[in-house]
């Protein structure tokens, strides 16, 4: 039951992080593949929460959590490369009216990002635990 709740919470956080840039009027500087990968990880975590750990839910959760954590590692590597001066990008100054969604994004994005990291790590550990337990039950039943 707790694993389903963790999978669902991680999936909802990932879904927010995938859809939040399109809600407001601020420009989205992320590449399209990052948005697609985050969305697919979110959907797979939500599907894993619905399926549970008895069937293929553990494998689906491992794929979704692994996708989200791979995006975190890629983002961390890009930030380190920017800091070291090996990666450059251009920024744009955008003038426009700030909407209510833009104001909420400044407040919500960082805590949701940290919650997503924590729940993705926990869901990956829970999915590996359920996969390992299932393999141990198969080997005991086969003996």
Q: 57-75 pLDDT, tens per residue?
A: 889 999 999 999 999 999 8
CA-CA-CA-CA torsion sign (16, 19, 21, 25):
negative
* Residue 139: predicted pLDDT: 65
* Residue 136: predicted pLDDT: 67
* Mean pLDDT, residues 113-130 taken together: 91
* Residue 53: predicted pLDDT: 67
Q: How far is residue 110's CA from residue 80's CA, in Å, rounded to a whole number?
A: 18
21-47: burial string, b at 16+ Cβ within 10 Å, e else: beebebeeeeeeebbebbbbbbbbbbb
Is it the case that residue 91 has pLDDT exceeding 80?
A: no
> What is the C-alpha radius of gyration for the chain, rounded to an integer number of angstroms?
18
* Residue 123: predicted pLDDT: 92
Q: What is the tens place of the pLDDT at every residue in 9-26? A: 999 999 998 888 888 776
Is it the case that residue 30 has pLDDT exceeding 70?
A: yes
Token representation of residue 82: 């920017």
| Closest among 52, 39, 40, 38 to 6, alpha carbons compared | 52
**CB-based contacts of 126: which residues, under 8 Å, 6+ apart?**
2, 3, 6, 7, 53, 61
CB 20 within 8 A of CB 105: yes
Is it the case that residue 78 has pLDDT exceeding 90?
A: no
Q: How far is residue 35's CA from residue 129's CA, in Å, rounded to a whole number?
A: 28
The three-class DSSP label of residue 132 is: helix
Is it the case that residue 37 has pLDDT exceeding 60?
A: yes
* Residue 73: predicted pLDDT: 92
């Amino acid at each position: 039951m707790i694993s389903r709740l963790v999978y669902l919470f991680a999936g909802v956080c990932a879904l927010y992080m995938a859809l939040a840039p399109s809600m407001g009027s601020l420009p989205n500087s992320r590449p399209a593949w990052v948005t697609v990968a985050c969305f697919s990880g979110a959907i797979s975590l939500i599907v894993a929460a619905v399926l549970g750990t008895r069937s293929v839910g553990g494998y689906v959760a491992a794929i979704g959590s692994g996708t989200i954590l791979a995006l975190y590692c890629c983002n961390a590597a890009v930030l380190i490369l920017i800091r070291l001066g090996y990666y450059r990008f251009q920024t744009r100054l955008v003038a426009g009216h700030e909407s209510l969604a833009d104001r909420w994004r400044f407040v919500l994005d960082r805590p949701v990002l940290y919650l997503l990291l924590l729940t993705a790590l926990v869901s990956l550990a829970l999915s590996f635990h359920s996969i390992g337990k299932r393999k141990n039950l198969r080997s005991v039943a086969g003996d």
